[in-house]
Structure 1
Amino acid sequence: MINILFISLISFVNTLSLKQVLLAIDCGGQESFNSNEGYLYQDDQYFSGDSRVSDYTYNDVALAGISYTFNPRVYFTERHGNSFDYSIPINKNGQYTIILQFVELYFENEGERQFDVFVGTKKILNNLSIIDSKHQKGSAKEVFIYIEIKDDKVFYDNEECNKGFMNGKLKIGFRKGAADLPKIDGIVIVKGHNAGEEEKNYLIDNWEVMQEENRKKEAELKRAELEAQNMIVPDLVEEDQGEGFFSFLLSPIGIGIITFGLAVFAFLIFTGEKEEENNKKKNKKDKKDKKK
Structure 2
Amino acid sequence: MTSILIQKARPVLRGSLVFIIKMKSRDFIQWFTIFFVHFALTLDSIFLGDNIYYAVNCGGQEHTDLYGIHYQADPLRVGIASDFGSRLSIVRVDPHDAILYQTERYHTDDFSYTVPLPKDNGEYTLVLKFCEVYFQSSQQKVFDVLLNDEVVIAELDIFKEAEGVGIAYDRLLTFHVENGVLLYGGRRDSSGYIKITLAKGALDNPKINAFYIYRGPKTDIPPLQDILFDEETEEEQEEEELDGQADVRLRSEVSRFEDEPLVKDPYAEQDTSHMFIPFLIAFACFFPVLFCLCKL
Residue 208 (str. 1) matches residue 235 (str. 2):
no
Q: Distance in 2 between matches of 1:16 and 1:210?
A: 30
Write the letter of the residue equivalent to 1:143: R
Residue 18 (str. 1) matches residue 46 (str. 2):
no
The DSSP-based 3-state class of the residue aligned with 2:55 is strand
1:34 paired residue among 57, 60, 64:
64
What displacement does 1:88 show?
1.5
What displacement does 1:55 show?
1.5
Cα 1:57/1:106, change in 2 over 3 Å:
closer
Q: Distance in 1 between matches of 2:165 and 2:46?
A: 26
Higher relative contact order (CA 8 A, sep 6+): 1
- Between the aligned residues of both structures, percent identity stands at 25
Q: Deviations over 1:66-106 (max 9, x none)?
A: 00112101122111111111112333222111000000011
Tell me the equivalent position of 2:128.
100
Q: Does the CA contact (< 8 Å) of 2:122 and 2:177 recur in 1?
A: yes
CA RMSD of aligned residues (A): 2.8
Unaligned runs of 5+ in 2: 1-40, 234-296
Cα 1:166/1:15, change in 2 over 3 Å:
farther
What displacement does 1:58 show?
4.4
Q: Does the CA contact (< 8 Å) of 1:15 and 1:194 recur in 2?
A: no
Question: Which structure is larger by alpha-carbon Rg, 1 or 2?
Answer: 2
Tell me the equivalent position of 1:144.
172
1:166 paired residue among 191, 195, 198:
191
The DSSP-based 3-state class of the residue aligned with 1:36 is coil
**Greater CA drift, 117-126 or 33-42:** 33-42
Tell me the equivalent position of 2:113.
86
Cα 1:153/1:211, change in 2 over 3 Å:
farther
The DSSP-based 3-state class of the residue aligned with 2:223 is helix
Cα 1:124/1:43, change in 2 over 3 Å:
same
TM-score computed with the length of structure 1 as normaliser:
0.58
TM-score computed with the length of structure 2 as normaliser:
0.57
What displacement does 1:157 show?
2.1
Count of residue correspondences: 188
Write the letter of the residue equivalent to 2:196: I
Q: Does the CA contact (< 8 Å) of 1:68 and 1:207 recur in 2?
A: no
Greater percentage in helix: 2
